[in-house]
Every structure is written in C-alpha cells, then in structure tokens.
Amino acid sequence: MAWDEWKQIKNDVAAQHTDSMRLNQFAPAAGGGGGAPDLASSPEKKQAAAKAINDDLERDVERDGKHATESVKAVVKELSARDGYGWDTSGALKKAHRTWEQQVKALLGRLASEKHALSKTGIDFQDDDIGIGSQLAPPSRIDDY
C-alpha cells in the first residue's frame, strides 16, 4: 500500500468519526446518560462480603482441608506396605492428596486476595474522587497573591 493510499484511508475514517460528547453543560438531574448509572458501588455489601470470607469461608476451607488430610493419612497408613507388599492405591492417594493440598492452598490465597480487594475498593473510589475533585476545583485565591 502506498503512503498516499494510507493517508487517504486515514482521512476518510477521520471524516466519518463524529464526536458526541459535549462538556459545555451540566448533566441532567437523573444522571449523565439518562439511564441507569454506569457504576454502582455499595461499600456495605463489599464489607459484608469481606467479613463473610474472613469469618466463614477461610475458616471452613482450612478446617475441611485439614479433615481430608487426616482421613487420607489414615487410609495411606492402612494400605501401605507392612510385609514388603503394599497397595498401589497408597501411592496414588499420596499423589492425589498433594494435589488436594495445593488446591486448598490456592483457594485460601484466592479468598485472601478477594477479601483484600473488597476491603480496598471503597477506599480507592474515595481517593479517586478526592483526587479528581481537587484537579477540577477552581484555583484558590491565595495563589493570586
């Protein structure tokens, strides 16, 4: 493709593009788009979800993960070699249990990161609002002196 063709294509696309955003008036009382708000945030629900993760889910996952560990160890011991012979199931259970432990650990890590994100989101929104507000605020008259 020649440079002139590329330039013509860019000009054609730019001519078709229309800007529909206008910033020379206030948004209507119901909101900027006239429909439902784009972003809905409920700090109370986020805190409740973080509390549920902390108080219930993490504790239950740890408890149930340990329960499985105790059960598998007992079975592996029963199926292990006593007289030089053992069940193949014993080794397979050990391997399956290692995978189980990794999955429990990964789940606990995911729950912790979700809890942290839920707790932090409200603070981030507030900090963003304050930062944007300070950028949009009219300059102080003190600066003129």
Rounded mean pLDDT, 4-16: 80
pLDDT score recorded for residue 66: 85
pLDDT at 43 over 60: yes
What is the per-residue burial (b if ≥16 Cβ within 10 Å, else e) of 118-134? bbeebeeeeeeeeeeee
Task: Between 76 and 39, name the one with better pLDDT.
Answer: 76
The tokens of 74 are what?
A: 């007992």
How far apart are alpha carbons 58 and 65 in whole angstroms?
10
pLDDT score recorded for residue 132: 75
pLDDT at 103 over 90: yes
- Stretch among 2-6, 33-37, 59-63, 91-95 having the lowest mean pLDDT: 33-37
The tokens of 55 are what?
A: 């108080």
> What is the pTM for the complete model shown?
0.54
How do residues 106-138 score in pLDDT, each as one tens digit? 999 999 999 998 888 766 666 776 777 777 766
How do residues 48-100 score in pLDDT, each as one tens digit? 888 999 999 999 999 988 888 888 888 888 887 766 667 777 788 888 889 98
Cβ proximity of 86 and 79 under 8 Å: yes
Tell me the longest C-alpha to C-alpha distance in the chain. Answer: 94
3-state secondary structure the chain: CCHHHHHHHHHHHHHHCCCCCCCCCCCCCCCCCCCCCCCCCCHHHHHHHHHHHHHHHHHHHHHHHHHHHHHHHHHHHHHCCCCCCCCHHHHHHHHHHHHHHHHHHHHHHHHHHHHHHHHHHHHHHHHHHHHHHHHHCCCCHHHHC
